[in-house]
Structure 1
Amino acid sequence: MARRNGRGRKLSARILISQLLILAITSAIGFVLLAFAQRDQLDRDSEQRALTIAHITAADPQIRQAMESGVDGGIVQSAAGRIQNSSHASYVVVIDLHAVRHSHPLAELVGRPVEESVEVWHGEEVLGSDHGATGGSANAKVPLYGPGGELVGEVSVGIPEKDVLGQLRHELSSFAEFAAIALAVGCTASYVLARRLKRTTFGLELEEIAGLLQDREAMLHGIKEGVIAFDPQGRVSVINDEARRLLGLGTAVGSRLDDLLPDGRLRRALDGTLEGLDLTVLTDSHCLAVNRMPVVLQGRALGAVVTVRDRTELVGLLRELDAVRGLTDALRAQQHEFANRMHTMAGLLELGEHGAALDYAVELSRGDAAPAEAVRDRIANPLMVGLIVAKTTVAAERGVRIVLEQDSRLGEQPGHLRRLLTVTGNLLDNAVEAAQGQPGAAVRLSLVETERAITLRVADSGPGIPPGAAERIFEDGWSTSPDRGTVRRGLGLALVHRLVQRHGGSITVSEGPGAVFTVRFPLPDHDPAPLGTSSTAAPSVLEGAL
């Protein structure tokens, strides 16, 4: 049954058979239409030929004279027979105005009247067909005038229908040969086309192609990863809903990346300029992991497939985990220092040196409170004070000294507070890491608030930024340090850069030894969202990742 319905045949055979049927049917229809058209044309030609013979007969002087005088004597029959024989007409009949025949191929009909009346009383010519005693003929009738110019009769001439059919068969045989040649060429072309289509579809049958399409649609729209497929020319051929959401693309099928995305790390990762696995790319709303895989089938390059995964929440959690781990290490280090102090206090008390123990406790409290008080004198906001003191403590455990510049001034409720905390914490972490292990490792912090802007400056004593890297340092993925722990390098500064620019600020860095980062937020703050909230969902995601 499957074979009978055509499903069991291969795709190439089904295409070939369908095209052959189409060619055969169209050729047959064309041949029939051509036969009818040619028959009509031959009938018209026969009528014109009969008309010419009729005019010649009507111009014969013997026939004209005999018909006008009324004295026939067989003259008309003889002249008409001569013309009929020479022209191979079916008949040449001359009748008078009383519809009596004066000539006819059948001699017994001469002198007898015709059944129809004379049709040329007004001198017109009549063309048509006739089925008389001699069979079917193409007929032409013309008026017959005597030498004096008076109408004396009618001349009717017929061309045998068998002549028309014979000529038609001769011409149609030629047409049939041409049609057969055209059909053969069409069959050959159909066979070549079917083979080519077979190669194009990699040998897959129609049902297999339909099944693959259904599976592809179900897979593309069912998975939680973004998928984009590119053809060999770099145009988007397939894109699923998740990829549109992550990349912010609309109708992208058929477009090139140059028309969809501006130049940047994202476009370079998608088009294959950047090589590697799990390339980390930042957009305004997401932190993405991008992988590109070329597609080659049977030695033919078919383009590439790109997968895009959303790692925004994962990166944020990993950075928070790393920060907590660093704080835990610092607290563990401080535990030993506190234990030493407590042992000293316990020893003094056991020895009864109560005064010495009191003096030692007062000295320790003053020493611990001094850094916090120094920060409070210049920074009025308690959240920023707590951040700076915590970073100073952690940096001290790593052998790095954080110094707050004397010109630092920040009010109790400064603008861009939420963003200042994020940017300051990130830049201090980077600076401490860069200065760690350097002789005289130090980080200098400056926070200056004026009526027009808040300026943050962080300088470290590390090796600095390589020459020519000041622009690339803010690209996601750029870093001079290897990945540490759970944190992927090259994200912090890129996130800071996006955060600052999104709120109308600017960030610059100096090249050479001792990097100096300068951030400027304009005032007034047009997005004064309370700490812990966000004006839009996208910034909160990125700021949380810092």
Structure 2
Amino acid sequence: MSMRALNRVRGWRGRNRKLYARILVWQLAILALTSAIGFVLLAIAQRAQLDREYENQALAIARTTAAEPQIQHAMEYGGGGNVVQEIAQRIKNASRASYVVVFDLHGVRHSHPHPALIGQRDPGVTVDGQTHVGIDVGFTGISANGRAPLLSPSGKLLGQVSVGIPEKKVTGELWSELPSFGLYAGIALGVGVVAAYTLAHRLKRNTFGLELEDLAGLLQDREAMLHGIREGVVALDPHGRITVVNDEARRLLGLGTALGSRLDEALPDGRLRRALDGTLTGSDVTVLTDSHCLVVNRMPVTLHGHELGAVVTVRDRTELVGLLRELDSVRGLTDALRSQQHEFSNRMHTLAGLLELGEHDAAYEFAVESAGAEPLLAESVRDRIGNPLMVGLVMAKTTVAAERGVRLALTEDSELGEQPPHLDRLLTIVGNLVDNAVDAAASGGQGPPEVRLAVVEDPTRVTVRVADSGPGVPAVARDRIFEDGWSTRPDRGTARRGLGLALVHRLVQRHGGTIDVSEGPGAVFTVVLPQPHAADADEAGTDGTEELPRTRLAEKGAGW
């Protein structure tokens, strides 16, 4: 779609909202929110880290105090007294702790920042000889607390030393570090803003400035168009993967759930896949499948010099081609009837002239000879072929061949019953092969133009052999002669060449038969169809209905 068409779509929608601007605003809001959350989480983590550091610092002061010899001596022999309070106060002032408290084994304080509490028991203290850290809420406020056991020089447990560092020191250090955290968050936010703006600008360019409503409308229109048209549409990416396939394409090509698959994974190797992947070039490429006659067109898609893949359209022309061939067949029979009319008029004029000259005997002989030629030919065909439909086909082809100056002869070894099991397939095969042979014989070759037809039925198979006096099939063409669309002759009227032999080949293979062609001069096509088993008699009876469209399509052969 061109930019002008896209702008018209935007005008039809009547909206001018900036999708990229909305996306940018939302991205900035998300970035700001995540940056704030990250800043808060980082501050919380740093606060926990500082608490641990100050708790360990308090524990270190407590261990230093517990290792003081004077305190150990006073607690072991002197019962404490002012010595413990003085030394604990000195250590408190030197370390800037909020308190340094010495407890005995009963939890009685021997030092405290508030002298009134000395000598009183703290019920929340347990002297167990272990170190402890944590947050303590006491008379001096919230503190990072560390507790260490107090031991005598001999290792006897005397009590416990508890040291607290005021929480305001932790908070003060945290506040001193917050500006650097804010700087990091600001840098990350700035980088995110630049990235968001770049992404929004690129999104605007990739969507051609369309808004969300426009994109949704285009998607709905595309789906409605793809699944509403009567042509199959397949879109391929540059790597040959199927990105879009509508319902008609699934039906005609038998793709099924092929979305996302490569062509070589979805379709077997053949003319159809070569037409879809671009190996076969040109417009209106004719492809014959088991059920349809398709016309395939492939159009590469490029944007700003970049290859985006290709779009393939597939049209079903089965009925149209069949009708065109019926029309061409009717025209051929009409020409043959017109020729017979002229021939009949000439004979009547000759007969009238003989009678006028009084040559009654000569007139009688001429009349008998003219009246018996056609019935003799029909009787000769009926002696070898019992089915009236096949007799009618052979007689019609004989008349058409004679119009083109070609003699069509049924061989002496031909023999076909009244109800052959392959009747409809035989009508298709014989009609196409004879038409091709007449074309070849009429185009030149060695000797007089002639086509020889043999149809032989035995208990195991039915054999059809058609030989012509034409130039034969070139050796280089033997591998391609049964490909649909291949021909060495131009189209004839409304009938498109290159389909007749392909139809015969597919029909024979589908029913387990074989088809062979000899090298020139003069081509000999031999088709062998196996007789169906007795258990398949009912199935064979339905084959005629299944093949009727195929017979109608192939009745007038496409030529080589």
- Same fold by TM-score greater than 0.5: yes
- Choose the corresponding residue for 2:43, options 30, 35, 38: 35
After TM superposition, the structure 1 = structure 2 runs for residues 184-203 of structure 1, keeping only pairs within 5 Å, are 184-203=190-209
After TM superposition, the structure 1 = structure 2 runs for residues 413-452 of structure 1, keeping only pairs within 5 Å, are 413-438=419-444, 440-452=448-460
In 1, Cα distance between the equivalents of 2:402 and 2:102?
137
- Choose the corresponding residue for 2:162, options 135, 156, 166: 156
- Choose the corresponding residue for 2:341, options 328, 335, 342: 335
How much has 1:312 moved relative to structure 2?
Answer: 0.5
Aligned to 2:234: 228
What whole-Å deviation, never above 9, does each CA across 1:200-232 have from its counterpart, x for those lacking one?
Answer: 434433222211111111111111111100011
How much has 1:501 moved relative to structure 2?
Answer: 1.3
- Choose the corresponding residue for 2:465, options 438, 457, 473: 457
1:468 paired with 2:476, answer yes
1:267 paired with 2:273, answer yes
Aligned to 2:3: none
What whole-Å deviation, never above 9, does each CA across 1:351-381 have from its counterpart, x for those lacking one?
Answer: 6665554333222112233322332333333
What is the aligned residue count?
537
Q: Say which SS state the counterpart of residue 295 (structure 2) adopts.
A: strand
Aligned to 2:72: 64
After TM superposition, the structure 1 = structure 2 runs for residues 169-248 of structure 1, keeping only pairs within 5 Å, are 169-248=175-254
- Choose the corresponding residue for 2:300, options 294, 313, 330: 294
In 2, Cα distance between the equivalents of 1:363 and 1:536?
40
After TM superposition, the structure 1 = structure 2 runs for residues 38-437 of structure 1, keeping only pairs within 5 Å, are 38-70=46-78, 74-94=82-102, 102-105=110-113, 109=115, 112-113=118-119, 116-117=122-123, 119-125=125-131, 127-132=133-138, 134-144=140-150, 154-349=160-355, 356-437=362-443
Q: Say which SS state the counterpart of residue 100 (structure 2) adopts.
A: strand
Q: Say which SS state the counterpart of residue 384 (structure 2) adopts.
A: coil
Change (3 A) 1:360 1:203: same
Gapped regions of structure 2 (runs ≥ 5): 1-14, 555-560
Change (3 A) 1:466 1:202: farther
Gapped regions of structure 1 (runs ≥ 5): 1-6
Partner AA of 1:52 in structure 2? A
Q: Say which SS state the counterpart of residue 392 (structure 2) adopts.
A: helix
Q: Percent identity?
A: 67
What whole-Å deviation, never above 9, does each CA across 1:118-161 have from its counterpart, x for those lacking one?
Answer: 72444455544445554432233445456687766653322021
Q: Which moved more, 1:327-336 or 1:29-38?
A: 29-38
Aligned to 1:15: 23
Q: Say which SS state the counterpart of residue 485 (structure 2) adopts.
A: coil
What whole-Å deviation, never above 9, does each CA across 1:47-98 have from its counterpart, x for those lacking one?
Answer: 2222221222122122233344548774334322331233221222345678
Alpha carbons 2:318, 2:553 under 8 Å: kept = yes
In 2, Cα distance between the equivalents of 1:415 and 1:132?
109
In 2, Cα distance between the equivalents of 1:295 and 1:101?
90
Alpha carbons 1:93, 1:103 under 8 Å: kept = yes
- Choose the corresponding residue for 2:513, options 502, 505, 508: 505
What whole-Å deviation, never above 9, does each CA across 1:296-332 have from its counterpart, x for those lacking one?
Answer: 2232211111111111011111101100000101111
Change (3 A) 1:536 1:252: farther
Alpha carbons 1:457, 1:518 under 8 Å: kept = yes
In 1, Cα distance between the equivalents of 2:549 and 2:440?
27
- Choose the corresponding residue for 1:481, options 470, 489, 501: 489
How much has 1:417 moved relative to structure 2?
Answer: 1.9
In 2, Cα distance between the equivalents of 1:504 and 1:277?
34
Change (3 A) 1:114 1:312: same
Change (3 A) 1:387 1:102: closer
In 1, Cα distance between the equivalents of 2:305 and 2:358?
90
In 1, Cα distance between the equivalents of 2:48 and 2:273?
69
Alpha carbons 1:378, 1:410 under 8 Å: kept = yes
Q: Say which SS state the counterpart of residue 511 (structure 1) adopts.
A: coil
- Choose the corresponding residue for 2:547, options 539, 543, 546: 539
How much has 1:30 moved relative to structure 2?
Answer: 2.4
Alpha carbons 1:46, 1:159 under 8 Å: kept = yes
In 2, Cα distance between the equivalents of 1:213 and 1:500?
45
Q: Which moved more, 1:535-544 or 1:478-487?
A: 535-544
CA RMSD of aligned residues (A): 2.8
How much has 1:479 moved relative to structure 2?
Answer: 0.5
- Choose the corresponding residue for 1:516, options 505, 519, 524: 524
Change (3 A) 1:302 1:68: same
Q: Say which SS state the counterpart of residue 475 (structure 2) adopts.
A: coil
In 1, Cα distance between the equivalents of 2:478 and 2:305?
43
Partner AA of 2:348 in structure 1? M
TM (norm. structure 1) is: 0.90
Partner AA of 1:440 in structure 2? P
How much has 1:292 moved relative to structure 2?
Answer: 0.7
